[in-house]
Amino acid sequence: MLNRNQRLGRRGENLAARHLKKLGYTVVERNFKTARGEIDLVARHKKDLVFVEVKSRSSNRFGSPAEAVTPAKQRRLSMVALEYIKIKGLEGMRARFDVVTVDAGCRPPRVEVIANAFDLAYG
């Protein structure tokens, strides 16, 4: 059974996937997990492989959804993305990181895509 935050996260991922599809993205994988972490959505957009972090909030009491993608989170996502590329044999493909924010406190929920939200981060 999912707790409140998990339900909000799952709903946000579903909204994000639908919104991305409307924008011409094709979601190829959801919740890709490794020992280093998880990427919410992996998609193709035009010729790019896109690693998508979805951040959902029901209020901005603890900051905006985009603020939750900290430098430490960016490093973890980068390491998982590199593993994905290696496992899938996609070394020659152009890739980027997008962040999708979902403000579930609005009716209807507001979904925003931040393309190229950050660069590959490691170290």
Residue 94 lies in a domain: yes
How many CB atoms neighbour CB 108 within 10 A?
A: 8
Cα 14 from Cα 40, distance rounded (Å): 10
Residue 57 lies in a domain: yes
Whether omega for the bond prior to residue 71 falls within 30 degrees of 0, making it cis, is: no
Of the pLDDT bands very low, low, confident and very high (cuts 50, 70, 90), residue 62 is: low
Residue 18 lies in a domain: yes
Residue 68 lies in a domain: yes
pTM above 0.85, yes or no: yes
Burial group, residue 56, by CB count within 10 angstroms (0-12, 13-18, 19+): buried
pLDDT digits 0-9 by tens, 66-120: 777 889 999 999 999 999 999 999 999 999 999 999 987 778 989 999 999 999 8
Range of the domain at 100: 4-118
Written as six digits, the tokens of 96 are: 């980027």
Residue 123 lies in a domain: no
Does residue 4 carry a pLDDT above 90?
A: no
Residue 59 lies in a domain: yes
pLDDT digits 0-9 by tens, 5-26: 778 778 889 999 999 999 999 9
Q: How many domains does the chain have?
A: 1
